[in-house]
Amino acid sequence: MNIDKILEYQTIDMKVYRIEREFAKSPEVQKAVALQNKKKAITASLLKLDKEAETLFADLEKAEAQIKEAAAAQDKAHFSMGSIADLNAADNVEKALNGYLEAFGNLEKEIKRIFKRLSDIKNEARKLLEQGNAANNDYKASLADYERKSQEIKQSMQGQIARLSELRKEIDEAIFRRYKLCRDNKKMPAFVPYDAPNCTACGMNISPEVGDKLKNSGDVAECPSCRRIVYLK
């Protein structure tokens, strides 16, 4: 197989690749990424608060239902007091009423707790929203810097990029796909010479797996160890 074109492509693309890697480490990109992460963290915190508020509202509904239940039971107890036949029964009614009062007290505490937490959540959410808006504005500003830097780099690589798109038309689709896969996985260079019995990228002895496939100049095989494409010079 003729792999001259893909190798030429790779030589130029390596320069582009290195510049891209440097760009990824540049303060412009780092700042934008950090702000993006900050935005994500704030959103996650807000969602967590939202979920907690949802649980609190459910607790509140539950407490309301319990109050209604206790009130109904209390009414019934009052009603039956009018027909108390003996002291024993009166004692039981008093016990029951005390029980209801205690239940009301507990429910009141529970409801106070829920309202207190809901009010805290409201404040926390307001603060988070403010932080989120600030982070969003900073992020937008950082994107402008990012875009400017990216355009600068693209301009500086114009010649290489034009040559790459020309070469691309002459490269077999399957070969290019393999190249692209390595590049996407940051395995560059993707095509490396086979120096029997070793892959020149990872240094592993790969002759048992690929030796048979690499007979003539231009033959290619995948390195079973680093997954790059080894070729015979």
- The yes or no reply on residue 220 touching Zn ion (CB under 5 A) is no
| Of the candidate residues 214, 223, 229, 232, the single one contacting Zn ion (CB under 5 A) | 223
Q: Which residues of 31-46 are buried (b: 16+ CB within 10 A; e: fewer)?
A: bbeebeebbeebeebb
If the CB atoms of residues 34 and 202 are measured against Zn ion, the closer one turns out to be 202
In angstroms, the CA 204 to CA 198 distance is: 5
Query: Can you name the residues that pair with 195 across neighbouring β-strands?
Result: 198
In angstroms, the CA 182 to CA 81 distance is: 86
Contact string (CB under 5 A) for Zn ion, positions 92-131, x = contact: ----------------------------------------
Phi and psi at 138, nearest 5°, equal: -60, -40
If the CB atoms of residues 43 and 200 are measured against Zn ion, the closer one turns out to be 200
If the CB atoms of residues 70 and 175 are measured against Zn ion, the closer one turns out to be 175
With contacts defined by CB under 5 A, how many residues of the chain interact with Zn ion? 6
Site for Zn ion in 169-208 (CB under 5 A): 199, 201-202
- C-beta of residue 60 within 8 angstroms of C-beta of residue 114: yes
If the CB atoms of residues 102 and 195 are measured against Zn ion, the closer one turns out to be 195
Site for Zn ion in 16-45 (CB under 5 A): none
Site for Zn ion in 60-79 (CB under 5 A): none
- Both tokens assigned to 74: 């209390």
Bond prior to 193 in cis (omega within 30° of 0): no
Q: Interface residues with Zn ion (CB under 5 A)?
A: 199, 201-202, 223, 225-226
